Structure formats: structure tokens, C-alpha cells
Structure 1
């Protein structure tokens, strides 16, 4: 289907577009509607985002450049070397903005009675003496160093590790010593001196106490650095191997992954850092100049995250107001309700605990014979895993599809695998060469040709921790079509070499979600040409798939309106489809992380879908994903309401212009989707706790209007 549509190569590079997304996260630290302490949080989130980018995406580009001998990327028409240069330049600009905001916010900490960041040089002699005592007692016992004379490498330093490089002269010979910042101590030393609270960074304290570590020579130069490594190694799960072989292979993979090449080498750009020593260091240790960044402030702003908890406790009015998520409050049980109705929840305003209620009731129901669920990422000490273990121990047949290749969650998923196997659950792993990214749970009360039971199909992980901050959708139902399709889906996962089944209602990747989206876009196009009516709404984390973009361009040329909410990377360009083009692209970035995926097609009827899949080539072609149509009229009405609210967002929405840059409206009308849903949540809860909820509602409303005003 996609091959019938002309693609003319007008696309942005995915990774350059992603850096613009990280810029949008940074910009939240400068938004008047962002509470003071949450501004620090967004700076830390942006830093954490960038770590993964340099551990996964940059290595992928480097590999493509080497494999193709600096060939041209299909989407953007840019050589890979050009993309990497542009990434470096754009990221340098992001760093400058990020640290400008950090410095401005840090200057306001004393006024908010939250202490003060200080450097060692800013302390008076008495204060330095106290800090030196902390060094001797709490830091020096954990310090070690490696001395280099001729052979230079940093292989023993793992990803995200910070260290000090010290150039010394000992016995008439110059040497370089590497002192890793110990992981056993926090990045900030809390000092209370003369009723003043100070925060001193541990690497700064180490830097000024190195003579306590070295007594055999003269220190000539010091630089503080931090590395990111290539963690983009791949692991294939062979369905013919037994589980123990797969687990053994994964353990080897995790060990080898820590030895990847350095992709980012960040140096704290202090006034006394010697440029000649930097050049000497990166040459001796064979660090690519393209990986080097001189950072105008403290390295790795994720050090702010542990500080936020005590700050929020001390100043609770300087963060987003707390809210109470909606629990299951119906008089009847959830399973009884689902026998007659579908249910669509939106986290975090709807509590993830309602999924736990669903599982608990299924376990307690004597009619339940089996529970089947996919697991991609779960919380530490997961309540979901405990309930699945309880179900198996009760005699229910429990099958869990665990994706061991969920990046950076591999170790936790290994732990979960062991726990579930010990409890008697049947464990299966993903398809070879394809991650299983679907988010679904099937409860069977009857198996066979006509299975019966209940389903849950979602856009997000079964993680009760992240569900408090991620916006996701979760559909519950007992519809026979859903149940039958999911029974076939799990049979496909359980059988090595099985071909994907044909589904009556659902769509699944590989390929079929892409086909469904493109076919529906073309249907809307045909309807629009015949009637002048019809439009398409898509909400995803990323839009990078060339075939889907080509279908959008094809329909946009005849005037089909598109409203696209793309949180992260967006390769689609606006302004390239001629005079009839009507495409609006925005990225909603706010209090919560937008994670839900919605596909909505409006022609002669309303065709609404939720999905686990972003519109990316990897999700369309190389992953096992699910998309579910929403049939229930009331749930359709709720989803259309959600779509309408997002379409109006002009507060948290950054809009794409024809140059591929993002802007905010100078005079917004004040429509924030995330805050609107919280206000509606308060309205819903008034019936059950009118006085308490009314007070909470007034607090949220007063705060919101105050933030907008100032």
C-alpha cells in the first residue's frame, strides 16, 4: 500500500529533531507556568535524556557512517558525518541555554530559604577546614587512582562515570592519573555553617584535596570529566534456545555493553582548566574531538534530583500541586461492570491502581482459568508481578511474555523472570529480531475455539511508579472480538516460528499497523475529495516512518486537515505540500510526560484507535505492537473529548514552523490539556468528597491562575 504513494524525500533527520525536543524540555525551566523547583527537575530530566541519546542514538549514527563509508541518510538526504556535526553544534547551544537557566535558578535558592550552591574557593578558611574534615572522613576512604605512563585507555570507567584527570610531575617524569569520583558518596556535600546551608559538589572538594591523596609529586593540571559510552549493542532472542541459555546470553551481553566506545566526553569548563592539557588528554586517550564538550557549569545536572525531595518537603508550594488520582468507586465490581460496558482510563488522572483492581478481581474470580500478560518495563518491587505470582500459586495458568531486551531494564527483567518462574508462571521471551512492545493483559474464563474473558490493552507500561507521571490510555473490555484476537495473539507469541494471525478487530505490527494507518488516511483523502469534509488526528511520541509521512503528504496536497501531536522526534515537514496544505504539528511538553498514542480518522464515520506503537519504522516493521479500535460509544465520546482538549492546547504546546523550529504563541488563550484534565478530575471527585475536593480544586485553580499571571 505504501509503495503506491510518492515520497519525495522531504523529511527532517530524526536525531536533529530529537535534540529540538530536548530543547523544549530545557525551556520548561524558563516557563512562568512551571513552579520554581520543577524548573530544576526539567533541567535534570533533559540531562538524563541526553545520556540515553549519547548511549544509543549517536552510536547508531556513527555505525551507519562507518558501514556506509559516510553514506547519505535516506530521510534527510544528509551525509552521516554532516548529521553528527550538526548534532554537536545544536547540542552545544542546548548546553549554553541549559546552564544559563541553571545559574539563574541557583541564584534564587537563598531567597527561597533552600540553601546555596558554593564552590570551594567561595568558602572562608574556617568553612574550608570543615569541608576538608568531611573529605577526610567521608570521601578519602573511597578514593582510588590509576597512573598512566605510556599506555592510555579508559576502559575501566563505565558509562556515566565522572573522574578527575591529574597531570603530575613525579621523579622528574610527567604522568597522568585518573581519580574516579566514588559512587558511594552523593554528588553534593551538605554543610551547615553559622546557620547557613551550603551545597558543595563532591568533585570540587576532591579537586582541592588531591594533595591528601598524592604525596609523591607536584600537581600541574587538573580537569574534571564525565563519559558516555556506546550502549547500542544488540541482543537477539533465539526462540529455539531454552530459557536458561537466553538468560546466560543476556548476562554476557550486559557485561560486554559496558565496554563500548566513548561517545560523549564532557569537561567542566573551569577558569583554570588548561586547553593544552585538554588537547593532550583527548589525544593520548584517543577520544574523538566530535565527542568533546566543554560544559559551562557542573557536569551531569541529574545531581539535582536527590536534592528536590528535601526541597519540596521544605517548600511544598514551589512544586506542582498534589492531586488524588481517580480510583475505582463504582458500586459493582470492575469485572461485573465490564460484562456490560467498556472502560477507557487515562493515567495519571485515573489511577493505575484500577488495573491492579482488575487483576485482583480476576484472581479472586473462580471462573478465571488463565491470565496472560506482556511485560516490557515494571517498577521495582512491582505490585503487578506480585499479583501474577499470587495467581500462579493459586492454580491459575499464568503466562508472562517478558521482553528481556527492554533497553536499560534488562537487569530488572531478569530478576522478574526468576521470581515469576519460581512462583510457577510460564515465561516466554520475545520474537527473534523483534522486541515485543505491546501492552496487553488477557484474562480467560473459557478457552478454546470461542474463548471468553476480559482484556486490557494500553499505550503504556505496567509500572505503577511511572504511571503517576506518564500520560497513557488503558482500555478494558469483555468484547468477544477483543478476547478472541488476544487469545490468537498470545498463541502466536508462545509458538516459535508461528506466522502472525489475522485479527478481526485489532491491528498488530510488524507491518499491519502501518498498513491500517495508511489505508485510513487514504480513505479520509477520498472522502475529503468527494465531500470537502474529513480530517485526521494523530498523537504519538515520534513520527519518523517514511511511508506514513508519505501518506500524510499525499492527503495534505488535496487539502485534508491534519492535527499532529508529536512529543519527540518529528521527521515530517510542514509547508511542503502546496497551497492546500493544512497540517498543524505541535509537541505538548508539560507537568507530565505525554506517552499515549491515538490514531483518529474522520470520514463518513469516526474511526478511533489507541496503540502501543509510535509511527516509527522500528515500531511499524521491527517490533510486535498492538493497536485497538475503540467501539463503545461512551468511550468514543471520552476519547474524542481527549482529542479535542489536546487539539486546543496552546500553553504546553510548542508549534512547528516551516523551518522545522518550534515556537510558542505569544498570547495563548490559556488552554493547557494536562491542567484541564486535572480540573475535570476535581469536578468528577466532588460527588464523593465535596468539601475536601473543593478545597483541592480551589488550590489547583488559584495556583494555575497565579502562575499564568506572573
Structure 2
């Protein structure tokens, strides 16, 4: 069991009526619960039931996540400290108090990281995958790799002096650097130089030696060839370091006349933003560590982290990608959605036939469903207009290609590009430019609100008039993440949803906020939060009428205090609440008189859980919703999100199977305790030892196989009917 999250007070066993639901003690700290999630990810790396290179992958994920945590969360808290913010968090802590407790948890994770890193390196060695130090190489290997250094790396290096004649150099975010002290042979004076390691997509961090799976860290290779960079100098010390900069540089959009210019300016500011963490190698002298800390403006006691292993574990993604099928999960090849199989090549006819089609990624193919939907829309002569929201997409996106082709084919195309998608701002600015050059109407949404919804809206001239088709999803239009994230999507031609989307896109593209009416969709910030709170209250009322209330939410995060308070009230009223929350969760389950009817689980495994589902029993008239919104204040109050009802029985059945499987399985499942700690579920039952994601892969394969059998049967009947007709004509 993981160490518990510290609480402001112990949980008293008191009658329900005496609970003050506004009290900070009933709300867990957002940052700590997110760090607890990373402990669960780290455990996947520690779990020897996972293949070796997948364990390396999980270790890299934790390293990447911690980088983002410092950039976003610690960066934001440090800004609050700098601004002398005295407002307490929902759990009753000042910004500096949150930083202090986060650092305790981070250092605990780092200790576990280091142990796991060493364990995995030993296991990799047994599998003939070597991450060596330069000193461990044979003379032949050194000769080979030194030649590579001279030809491919040496020309890219630029030693930068650090003395009164040379200003302290700019250190870019997350770059790997060497701090080198050297001197002339006949002089006792030491000179300091910074050397940036030129890591890029073309220059990997792990340099492969020969044809075997033997690797050397690029900085280690540079450190052992310094005599070429600093000829005639005696090298005294050489140590690795890395800085992490604050990524919170957003300005108030309401005050910007030029949103594009504002984002570009914010990106420039982020490049030079305040440093929030300094990582150094264990061999760095204290005097050099102090000098770096002083020059970089960080607290040497708090913000300097000595790393005994590899600095920047995110680069282990390079090792985890080694092509060794025996050390990876069994390859997964997404199958075609069963309802999209058929002889009719027109996807719009298929959607019309089925009404609505529920997609499950990554189990079902993104290419043959979502990309196909947009590809056919771009070419279909009956399609008149395409509207879409774009939050994140792939580097070589087919989505962009199809949108441009649609415009070239004479269709009206409008795209709402979210410029403030964190860490994707530059890419989205570039995509917006490409789209505008193709004649596409590009807008940036509503002032003051991020557009986080996942929508494709197609207007087509069908045989009986205009009909509206749509895809509404829980994940981004990114082919890469569609292979790694567990998401849902709905292809539909429901006329009410189509009418709602017309209103929504008019709102997004005009930027005006007149009263708009929605029949089916629940958009935020106008309706979603209010609707969720009303539906929770309805479950409370139905429970009082001896109708067993039931609420089940699946979300990435539960942070909004109003939703938490409403769920507490539901539990106190006897409503059973099941919550599948991937990471941040403020709610404390299992407290007598407050939340004993609430269960919280988290699933961490092969695929990243990214699906959002909201279920209400509603006196037997069950309601299911899927959408883009997590249960966070920012999503519900300051973003444009969309949740759609899932109403057809066949699709409800699929959602029920998904929820039941995840709620009842014991592999990759962690249950939250009342103090915020988590216990990994274990079982001796063989079925429970099968990964949740493996079950869903097999379920999708069975659906596809059944669909192919039904299609074959349909073809056979059609062939027989044609044969009979031919015989009759011959007679």
C-alpha cells in the first residue's frame, strides 16, 4: 500500500447531520492526488507481470509526468507564492504549504525511480540490452564511437564560457547540459564552461554502438571527448545538469486585441520563464551547485535535486521502443468497428442505417472510423459543409489533409482551432496557417474560454433533404494517441443532436453568446455542470422514494468541489456512487456518515484511460452520457466542452459492459482509501489476473468477428436470392 496523503485533520466518526461539507478536511489536495497517480504508474514499472520494455516505458512516463508537474503545477504554485497569494486551497493549504508537501512526495517517487532504474538495467543486461558507461566499453567500441563523435556530434557542440567576460548562458527548458571546469596546465585558475548536448529527433539521447543493442548516453560520449572541445586544457570536473522552467505564462485573453499575437508572445515568454527545478548529477561539486543555483535563481535547499541515475528519464522512451517482440505486450492491431463493415462504401448510408455507432478506441480503428468519416466527407459531392473543433492533432495529420481536400473540392469548411492547448500552441498556430492558406474559415473560439470539445459536424444533401452527421468524442483527433488512449466516440445522424451542433458552432465561430437552446447536448460552461448537479439531486430524490439510486462516473479527474459536495450528499441519502477516476480525485470515499456509499477506483495499465462516461439510474430510465469534459472546475466553468447522451439500447449495452468490467476486475485496478491512499486489488481468481485492456481487446475482436459472420450470411442470402431470380427469368 502506498504511503498515505497527509490530511489536515483525522476523519471523525460523527453523525451525518454534523458534517460541514464546506470543511477543508473532506477534500484531498489536487497536487498530492496527482502525484499518487504517478506512484501507480511507477508501480506498473515495478510489476514483473508486465513485459520488460513495457516496464521501461512506464518508468519513462513517470519521468515525463514529473517534468510536466514541475512546469505546470509547481510553476503555478510558485507564481502564487511570488504574488503573495494568501487564499487557501479547497483542502485548506497556502501555496507554499502545497509546494512543501509536494516536494516530500516527489522525493519519495524519485527514490523509487532510482531503485527501479537500477533493477531494470540489470534485467535489460540479461536480455542483451546494454546501457553502458564510456568506461565500460571495449577499446574497439571506444574507437568506433569516438569516430562517430568526431564526424556527427563534434560540429554541433558549442562550449560557452562562464566568467566575467562571458555572461551566464541561457539554459533552455529540459535540455541536457554539461558543466565543465578546466584549467591551463601552468595555471591554477579554473574556468567553467557549459556545453549543451544536441539531442533532437535526428540525434537521439541513447547512442547505439554497432549493430547490437548496446547504448551509451550522448552526454557521456561528449564528456569523454572534451579534449577536442577544449584543446590544451586540463579537465578538472564534468557534471550533468538540467533545468525545468515554468510553463504557466498565459495572459488574459480578454485583454488581447490579437489572440494569435498573444499566444506567440506567451510562447516566447515561456522559453525564458522562471526556473522551478534544477537537477544535477551526483558528482557535481557543492561550489558549482551553489553557483548554478545562484545564477539560475533557484533555492539551493528546496529546488535543487541531485539525481544519482539518468537525468531526464523521459528519454527512456527511446529504449522502450527497441524492436523486441518478446519484451513487449502482445501486439494489438485495432479492428474495424462491426457496424462499419459492409458492402456499402458510403459511410453516411451506414450511419443512417444504424442511427448511431459507438466507437471504442484503441480497440477499434481510428483510421477506418473517424478518419474515414472525414475522408469521405471531403470527397462526397453531396456534402456541402464541414465544421470541426481542433485541440490536438498528429504531426503528420490526415485530419488536416482531409480538411484541406474538402475546401479544394468546393465545400464550406470551418475549423475552430484552440491555440491555448498546453504544449501544442506552436503546432496549432502552424496548422491554423495551413488551413487558412487553403481557404478554410479558421476561428479561435470564444474569448475567455478554451475550446476543448471533440467535434466533427457534416451537412449533407441527402435524398430527402439536408441531413446533419456528426462525430462526438472523448479524445483528440490524433492518430497516435488513438492507438494508446482509451477513448469513445459517437457517429450519429440524430436530428436533435444535429440541431444542437448547429447552435454550438454558430456560437463558437461568431463568438457571441445569445441565448441558445439545446435539446440533447450538454455543453459547458452554460449547461453541463448545472445538469450534472441536477441529475445527482434527482438520484437523491428517487432514492427517497425507495428507488435505489445509482450514479457511476468515469473521468480522468474529479476536482470540482461542487460536484464532490453533491456526491457526498448523495451518499448520505443512500445513493450508491461508483467513481472510476484515473488521477486527481479530491473526494474521500468510505467515511461513515459521509461517503460510505461511494467507491473510488483507478485503472492504470497498457492504455491510458481517457474516457469520460456519466451514468444515472434515473428510476430505471437509465441515462448515459459521454464527452470531452473532466469533472474539474476549469472544464465545467471556463472551457467549451460537449457531452452527448447515448440513447440507443445497443450502445448503452456496450457502455454497461465497459463500466461493469472495469468496476469488477482486479487487474490494474487500485481502490482509494478514505485517507487518499490506494490499495492495489489482488485476487487468486485466474480471470481477475487478466488485464482490463486485454478483455476489451478480445471483446472488440468478438464483435468484429460476429459482424463479419453476419455480413457473410447477408451476402449469402443475397446471392441465393439473385440466383433464384435468375432461374425464374430463365424459365
TM-score (structure 1 length as normaliser): 0.90
**Structure 1 position 360, deviation (Å):** 3.0
Distance 1:416 1:500, change over 3 A: farther
**Do residues 258 (structure 1) and 258 (structure 2) align?**
no
* Aligned equivalent of 1:206: 222
Deviates more, 1:274-283 or 1:406-415: 274-283
Taking a change above 3 Å as real, the CA distance of residues 681 and 153 of structure 1, as seen in their structure-2 partners, is farther
* Cα contact 1:556–1:581 (8 A) shared by 2: yes
- Residue 681 in structure 1 maps to residue 700 in structure 2: yes
Superposed displacement of residue 239, structure 1 = 11
1:294 aligns with 2:306: yes
Matched, 1:342 2:363: no
Change (3 A) 1:218 1:537: same
1:187 aligns with 2:200: no
Superposition pairs of residues 349-428 of structure 1, within 5 angstroms: 349-353=363-367, 354-428=369-443
- Helix, strand or coil: the match of 1:427? strand
Moved more, 212-221 or 102-111: 212-221
Using the alignment, how far apart are the partners of 1:153 and 1:522 within structure 2?
A: 63
Distance in 1, Cα, partners of 2:466 & 2:542: 37
SS at match of 2:541: helix
Residue 124 of structure 1, CA deviation: 4.7
CA distance in 2, matches of 1:268, 1:173: 23
Offset at residue 523 of structure 1 (A): 0.8
Give the match for residue 97 of structure 1.
112
- TM-superposed CA distance for 1:300, in Å, is 1.1
One of 277, 285, 306 as aligned partner of 2:318: 306
Equivalence for 1:552: 567
Three-state SS of the structure 1 residue aligned to 2:469 is strand
Conserved in 2, the CA contact under 8 Å of 1:237 and 1:431? no
The residue matched to 1:686 in structure 2 has which SS? helix
Residue aligning to 1:563:
578
Which deviates more from structure 2 when the two are superposed, residues 565-574 or residues 205-214? Answer: 205-214
Residue pairs, 1:650-661, within 5 angstroms = 650-661=666-677
Structure 1 residue 135 displacement after superposition: 3.0
Paired with 2:168 and 2:87, the residues of 1 have a C-alpha distance of 32
Tell me the SS of whatever aligns to 2:383.
coil
Farther-moved stretch of structure 1 (673-682 vs 212-221): 212-221
Match of 1:622 in 2: 638
* Shift in CA distance, 622/577, structure 1 to aligned 2, threshold 3 Å: farther
Give me the whole-angstrom Cα distance separating, in 2, the residues matched to 1:387 and 1:197: 40
In the other structure, the counterpart of 1:324 is: 333
Q: Secondary structure at the match of 2:490?
A: strand
Aligned in 2, Cα 1:43/1:639: closer, same or farther, shift over 3 Å? same
> Structure 1 CA distance, aligned partners of 2:213 and 2:256?
60
Match of 2:130? 116
Shift of 1:154: 5.7
CA distance in 2, matches of 1:188, 1:8: 50
Asked whether 1:613 is paired with 2:625, we answer no
Distance 2:255 2:473 in 1: 26
Contact preservation (8 Å) 2:162, 2:169: no
- Note the C-alpha offset of 1:412: 1.6
Change (3 A) 1:152 1:584: farther
Residues 287 and 299 (structure 1), Cα distance of their counterparts in 2 relative to 1, 3 Å cut:
same
For the residue of structure 2 that corresponds to 1:625, the secondary structure is strand
Q: Of residues 146, 156, 163 in structure 2, which corresponds to 1:132?
A: 146
Kindly report the root-mean-square deviation, in angstroms, between the aligned alpha carbons of the 2 structures. 2.4
Specify the alignment match of 1:700 in structure 2: none
- Separation in 1, partners of 2:538, 2:281: 55
1:665 to 674, 681, 684: 681
Offset, 1:285: 3.7
Shifted more, 168-177 versus 614-623: the winner is 168-177
- Give 1:534 deviation, angstroms: 1.7
Q: Of 228, 231, 240, which aligns to 1:224?
A: 240
Distance 1:371 1:202, change over 3 A: same
Cα 1:668–1:175, aligned 2, differ >3 Å: closer, same or farther? farther
Q: 1:394 to 1:13 in 2, by over 3 A?
A: same
Residues 145 and 451 from structure 1, CA distance in 2 versus in 1: closer, same or farther, beyond 3 angstroms? same
569-578 or 424-433, larger mean C-alpha shift: 569-578
1:235–1:405 CA contact under 8 A, matched in 2 = no
Q: 1:577 to 1:626 in 2, by over 3 A?
A: farther
Tell me what 1:142 maps to: 156
For the residues of structure 1 that align with 2:405 and 2:47, how far apart are their CA atoms?
Answer: 46
* 8 Å contact kept, 1:236–1:432: no
The gaps in structure 1 that reach 5 residues or longer are: 691-710
Relative to structure 1, the CA distance from residue 218 to residue 565 in structure 2 (aligned partners, 3 Å threshold; closer, same or farther) is same
CA distance in 2, matches of 1:206, 1:580: 57
1:637 aligns with 2:653: yes
Deviation at residue 175 of structure 1 after TM alignment: 3.4
Q: CA, structure 1 residues 123+445, in 2 after alignment: closer, same or farther (shift >3 Å)?
A: closer
How far 1:601 sits from its partner (Å)?
0.8
Alignment check: 8 A CA contact 2:667 2:682 kept: no
CA contact (8 A) 2:207 2:215 kept: yes
| Distance across 1 between alignment mates of 2:117 and 2:293 | 28
Tell me: CA distance 1:506–1:364, structure 2 relative to 1, closer, same or farther (3 Å).
same
Q: Compared with structure 1, are the counterparts of its residues 196 and 434 closer, same or farther at alpha carbon in structure 2 (3 Å cutoff)?
A: closer
Q: Structure 2 residue aligned with 1:165, among 179, 184, 188?
A: 179
Pairwise CA distance, 1:123 = 3.1
Structure 1 residues 120, 581: CA separation in 2 closer, same or farther (over 3 Å shift)? same
Residue in structure 1 matched with residue 491 of structure 2 by the alignment? 476
Residue 644 of structure 2 aligns to a residue in which SS?
A: strand
Q: Secondary structure at the match of 1:78?
A: coil
Give a deviation string over 1:458-510, Cα, whole Å, max 9, x none.
11111111101111110111111100000000001111332362211111111
| Contact 1:553–1:577, Cα closer than 8 Å, also in 2 | no
